[in-house]
Structures are given as C-alpha cells and as structure tokens.
Structure 1
C-alpha cells in the first residue's frame, strides 16, 4: 500500500501540471508550431541554420518537456520556454524568412500569436 501511494504521489504532479494548460492555450501553441513548420523561413539555433521541419520538431520536443514539468500555462510561456533561446547556451533562436532580415524567433512568434488572437 505504501509503495502504491508513493508511486501515485510521484505521478500526480505530472498529471496535474499537464492539465493546467487551457484548451485555448493548447490550440494557440499547436497553431504556432504549425506556423513554424509551414513557414518559408530558416531557423538559427546555436549558430547553425535549420529547416522549418527541424525547428518545429525541436521546439515541439522542448514544449512537451516543459509542459510535463508544469512550466507552460499559456502560449507566451511556450514561446519563452521552448522557442526563445537555447537551454544549453542561452543564445537566442533566430529566424530569417525570404526577403526579410534576421530576427529573434520570440519576436516573430509573438507577432504571429497576436495575429492568431485577432481572428
């Protein structure tokens, strides 16, 4: 019985934290990841350029990791925790779309989030 209770207490924080994300926030985050994946851009992470598919996969992995730890409660949290900078080096992620200057990915995603919310 004590073993069961111990395991239940270990699992409970993960279950509770994942449930703290509202359906609206979850939808916005999914839309942002899809936006990254389908954009005509390239992404810079730690000095190397990556395709949109690679970038979307990377930030999706970081998103799920942070979500499981209760660090994400909104689309803004997603941007800050998963799509702003490297967790290892602290270097900001950058994006460059066709015909545009290089900019921080967080600024680019915040602009897209505003557009999504106006719809």
Structure 2
C-alpha cells in the first residue's frame, strides 16, 4: 500500500486528507465523514471514480478529477491507473501530458465520470479531423 495526501473541500472547508492505495489489487482507502471507506476497481482510476461518485458534494483537488484527464488502455496496464493523460482537443497525447491522478489540480474539476468519458471521446474524434 502506498500513502498520499490530497486536498479536498467538504462543506466549504479545504483540508488535507491521507489516502492509501494499492496498485497490485487496485483499491483506495480514505477516511471521510468520520469513517473509513474502501473502493475497489479494475484500476486506480476506476477506484477514484467510485470514490468521487460516493461523495458528490466533495471536491477532490486532483488531476484524476479534471474534466480532460483520462487513462489510455496502455497507461492503465502499466501504472494500474495511477497515471493518465491530460488531454487537449486536436492534439496527440505525449509523455509530457502523463500525470499522476493524485497530483494537485484546481481547474475544470468534476465528480461526474461521464463528463470525463465524453471529453475523452471528443478528444479521440478531434484527432481524426
């Protein structure tokens, strides 16, 4: 298990929270609302999606919650979903666009994975124009 601190906003208050995550058996463990929660998935990105869906009124200041961040199939396999691409419409994703989903971010955040999926599909289509 690896440990990381992330910033989040609950009830209008910003604070730092520790999370633990397991890349081998993808899971995220976090203490929120005075209890421990564990989320499992195919990879860490899918675990992080479940975490955000379970706390829709909490803002997670992480790259993995950014509208235009999404893992490729290869990045999911290589990093168990810990790394993803920060995508730009019309531009191929490069190594410089590779980000850790738990790195700090404060722009274009969402708890709705459908928004991320729609952006990913729009990005894919933008490459074929």
Q: What is the TM-score normalised by the length of structure 2?
A: 0.32
Kindly indicate whether structure 1 or structure 2 has the higher relative contact order, using CA contacts under 8 Å at least 6 residues apart.
1
Q: Between Structure 1 and Structure 2, which shows a larger proportion of helix residues? A: 1
Larger Rg: 1
The structure that is strand-richer by fraction is 2
